[in-house]
Chains A and B, each alone.
Chain A
Amino acid sequence: MGAAAAVLLASQPAAAAPSGYAKPQRILSMNLCADMLLLELVPKPRIAAVTYLAHDGAEALFPGADAGIAINHGTAEDIINLKPDLILAGAFSTPLTRRLAKAIGAPIVEVPDATSFDDIRRNLHQVGAAVGEPARAETLVARMDADLAALAALPARPPVRVIAWSGGDSVPGKETLSGRIIEAAGAVNIAARPGQTYGAIDVEELLAARPDALLYGGGGPLKASVRGEEGQHRVLRRLYAGRRIVYSDIAHTCGLPQSARSALDLRRALDALPEQRVAR
């Protein structure tokens, strides 16, 4: 009886999938970055649920885009209740998720983390194909490439030495999307050491490194809180008044078309920095 029910459950979407042009109608995303891609690629009615983290990210990127969409917490119950016909997961979906997905016959697409603009193109194409919106994905890739081209077309400028410091011990290094965005914007991430992803730096070292500007990750879904406070250390507030550039966490954390726009914004902010160097 149980086996028969499982077969019944499995047979229904499986029959729809191979036909090629039938687009998934109940897409479930179980990863914040996949949420953002999904909200951009697919019309709302075809999204079964996004994660509970999606709201703040959506507010930062495209306000209102997630209104009325159900949320999930990545549990087994979510998968069973929502009966998705496609599951988007992060790079590390759990064995349970895979087993359940198999049981209900929904294909599972694992979206890897993006640490470069190439990764973003790859993810957009991959997710676009999976959700049945390759053309829309192509448009987004084109938009991103246009932003990158606009950035490349700007006149070269003397490099600005920066650290993306939001307090605490997680400074993005070279092998991160943040690092790539900073590089693309024409700044030098002086916290970057070869091969390093995230590193630690304390205020003393920060002062000694004498960056020309501080990048401050705020206003994203992963709201820094204590770090927010530490990022406000008064010596930095005083020294770097007018030299702190706020960026949105989400475009630095997730590989999105907006990541290129973020690089462009950063370049403009760098151009707007006051002339003199940090007083010493």
Chain B
Amino acid sequence: MTPSRWPTAIAFLVLALAVAASLFLGRVNVSPAEVIQGLLSPGASLAGLVVTELRLPRAVLAILVGASLGLSGAVLQGLLRNPLAEPGLLGVSNGAALGAVLSIYFGLSQAFPLATPLLGLVGAVGAGAMTFAFGRGGTLSLILAGSAVSGLALAFLALALNFAPNPYAAYEMNIWMLGTLSEKSWDHILLAAPFIALGLGILATMGRAVDALTLGEVQARSLGIDLDRTRILTLLGVGLSVGAATSVTGSIGFIGLVAPHLVRPFVGHQPGRTLLPSALLGAALLICADIVTRLLTTQNELRLGVVTSLIGAPFFFWLVLRLRKVAP
């Protein structure tokens, strides 16, 4: 194993440990032997149901969502050459949130169960298309278009909250936006997984482009990188993966920002090599945050997005302190 493989291997190990822990930990005490028994024979026993129908889909969804956020963050930070870039930057997260909230607003989720994630997907695709339409032709215009689309989606979110049909609906919209993995089933995974997989596949091919971009846009072009194509593919990849993820789980912040930063020092600050470890670490971080929400017994469920923000925001301070130390 070459030294450059180590970060990936370690991230993979962390993820594997997190997944294992998430299968064994939960509100209901299921003994390790019963968990293994339940995995082997997913029959009618309580342990079997808890493990195969509740904890396993939750872990799988956390892997998909965390990987989407981590990988998108890594690619965007490389493409935009900005340490603050994160998956929400292109407007797809807020677009997905808007679609989902509208499904609550119009009571569609009442009519058929998967309306919320479906409309979330539509919102993410719509927002991505808008960002693309307005942001063609340059990195700066892409960021600006993303901010504009984000802002517009936020404005409509506020409007929907403002005109919520009743206080209860407003409460639900708010709560939905905090993000959660609880009560998600294989149905949700079947819906989101194809989009997430496609998006992740696209993003995984961006390594060479983001490496070349460290030299600057002109130099990258001279190395044979088609910048327009790179931007389009990034937008598509982020839109599909993060859009589908957000539409199922709600907004989950900071994972996409933090994961690449944690990985970077271990890969010699080469953006292309942060991609895979970032995806793995993003997944591991999300599972750990989810375990926290399960183990803290609170009157109301502690939402996942709240935990990631509480852990992620202090990370910003660390980032500032480090930048002050590094910069003259």
Contact = CB atoms under 8 A, between A and B. Distances in A.
A207 B172 CA distance: 24
Interface in B62-121: 103-104, 107, 109-110, 113-116
Contacts of B115: 229
B166 interface: yes
Given A225-B104, A226-B104, A235 B49 contact: yes
Contacts of A90: none
B228 interface: no
B322 interface: no
Nearest to A53: B166
A144 to B, nearest CB: 26
Most chain-A Cβ atoms within 10 A of its Cβ — which of B27, B45, B107, B187?
B27
Interface in B30-70: 44-46, 49-50, 53-55
Shortest 6 CB-CB contacts between residues of A and residues of B: A235-B53, A230-B183, A204-B28, A208-B28, A222-B168, A225-B109
A224 B54 CA distance: 22
Interface string A186-213: 0000000000000110111101101000
B120 to A, nearest CB: 11
A224 B110 contact: yes
A200 B28 contact: no
Nearest to B111: A228
A265 B269 CA distance: 67
A168 B303 CA distance: 11
Interface stretch (B123-131, B132-140, B294-302): B294-302
Contacts of B165: 223
Q: Report, as a range, how many residues of chain B touch the other chain.
A: 35 or more
B172 A169 contact: no
B185 interface: yes
Contacts of A233: 183, 185
B50 A204 contact: yes
Contact of A280 (B46, B103, B182, B299): B46
B175 interface: yes
Given A225-B172, A235-B49, 19 more contacts: A53-B166, A200-B298, A200-B299, A202-B182, A203-B54, A204-B50, A207-B49, A223-B107, A224-B110, A225-B109, A225-B116, A226-B109, A228-B109, A229-B109, A229-B114, A230-B183, A232-B113, A235-B53, A280-B45
A195 to B, nearest CB: 13
A229 B182 contact: no
9 contacts: A52-B166, A222-B166, A223-B169, A226-B109, A232-B113, A235-B185, A239-B49, A280-B45, A280-B46
A223 B110 contact: yes
Given A169-B300, A200-B301, A280-B44, A235 B54 contact: yes
B254 interface: no
Given A53-B166, A204-B27, A228 B299 contact: no
A167 interface: yes
A175 B298 CA distance: 19
B207 interface: no
A207 B183 CA distance: 12
A221 B168 CA distance: 10
A4 interface: no
Contact of A202 (B27, B49, B172, B186): B27
Contacts of A202: 27, 182-183, 294, 301
Interface in A223-273: 223-230, 232-235, 239
A153 interface: no
A20 B233 CA distance: 78
B143 to A, nearest CB: 32
A22 interface: no
A279 interface: yes
Contacts of A232: 113
B28 A205 contact: yes
Contacts of A221: 166
Contacts of A227: 172
A222 B166 CA distance: 7
A226 B116 contact: yes
A180 to B, nearest CB: 22
Nearest to A52: B166
Given A199-B299, A235-B53, A279-B44, A207 B28 contact: yes
Nearest to B26: A204
Interface string A44-82: 000000001100000000000000000000000000000
Contacts of A52: 166
B27 A207 contact: no
A233 B114 CA distance: 11
A199 B301 CA distance: 10
A17 to B, nearest CB: 32
Contact of A226 (B54, B55, B172): B172
Contacts of A167: 183
A160 B123 CA distance: 44
B176 A226 contact: yes
Contacts of B49: 207, 235, 239
A235 B182 CA distance: 13
Given A203-B54, A204-B27, A234 B186 contact: yes
